[in-house]
Amino acid sequence: MFVLVLAATLPLQWLALKLKLPLLRTLPVWFHRTVLKILNIRVEVLGVPSEQNRPLLFVSNHASWLDIVVLGSTGPLCFIAKSEIANWPLFGTFARLQRSIFVDRSRRHGTGQVNKSIARTLSGGDPVVLFGEGTSSDGNRVLQFRSALLGGLRDAMEENGRGFVQPVAIAYRKFHGIPMGRRHREVAAWYGDMDLLPHLLRVLKEGAIDVTVAFGKVMEVAHEDDRKTLSRNVESTVRTLASLSLAGRPELLTDFVCLAGERR
């Protein structure tokens, strides 16, 4: 079924990109939602992704390749991805067709060019997802954020005059309806030297994962704001959102999530 969905989606998305059809933004959302159904993954969304504030950068924690599917199901957006993904079978093809921005982490001096690509996408009105840690974790904790790629938002602000960051937390909470606990988070988490294919096959076989996505309150960014300070503030918010979500305490998230119609 998964292969059939890919076979149906990829040519349509390629055509939509070539002809600049509105479908190029909505088709990936349909694809991700369909994949979630196939994998038997249920997504609980707390708060809402901002629709009013642009240019908008989502900054999220990162625990698994599943994060792409989970976040991609919430609405039209683009991802910042490591350059290796561009060469992965199927995944790389779809990442390119979803207009992902690829980062070569081995080229320390390439950040400026990447930031320009991020700025172009942001200036076009599309939200961009940045995984702030720069790598994936075991899903039990949020690692220290890297601030370098926040420069893409600042470049976009040169044209728009202002910019916005929305913290996002992803928390894999249950497996077959039972709380995972720290030891069993690897059912969903994909990190370190774990091979992709065995993990993918395990998720396909076992499925039944519950995940929470919490969209935090939007932060307005000014030109004079210090990038490292902004990174620390976003990291702190994401850590709070993730901790409360993992603890299964959604009632405590009310003061931290973005509400419908809320804007800066």
The pLDDT score that the predictor gives to residue 160 is: 66
Asked whether residue 160 is assigned to any structural domain, the reply reads yes
The pLDDT score that the predictor gives to residue 264 is: 64
The 3-state DSSP class for residue 35 equals helix
CA distances from 208 to 35, 139, 203 (A): 13, 17, 8
Q: For residue 18, which of 85, 90, 99, 81 has the smallest C-alpha distance?
A: 99
The pLDDT score that the predictor gives to residue 106 is: 67
Asked whether residue 37 is assigned to any structural domain, the reply reads yes
The pLDDT score that the predictor gives to residue 104 is: 81
The pLDDT score that the predictor gives to residue 82 is: 86
DSSP-assigned beta bridge partners for residue 167: 59
- What is d(CA 140, CA 133) in angstroms, rounded to the nearest whole number? 14
Alpha helix segments (H runs only) across the chain: 2-19, 23-39, 66-72, 91-97, 111-123, 151-160, 196-206, 227-246
DSSP-assigned beta bridge partners for residue 214: 46, 169
The pLDDT score that the predictor gives to residue 109 is: 61
Asked whether residue 20 is assigned to any structural domain, the reply reads yes
Asked whether residue 212 is assigned to any structural domain, the reply reads yes
The pLDDT score that the predictor gives to residue 242 is: 97
pLDDT, averaged across the chain: 90
Asked whether residue 264 is assigned to any structural domain, the reply reads no
Asked whether residue 258 is assigned to any structural domain, the reply reads no
Low-confidence ranges of the chain (pLDDT < 50): none
The pLDDT score that the predictor gives to residue 108 is: 64
Domain with residue 207: its CATH number is 3.40.1130
The pTM of the full predicted model, rounded to 2 decimals, is 0.93
Asked whether residue 260 is assigned to any structural domain, the reply reads no
Q: For residue 41, which of 68, 6, 70 has the smallest C-alpha distance?
A: 70
The pLDDT score that the predictor gives to residue 128 is: 95
Range of the domain at 62: 2-253
DSSP at 189: -
Asked whether residue 19 is assigned to any structural domain, the reply reads yes
**What total number of domains does the chain contain?**
1
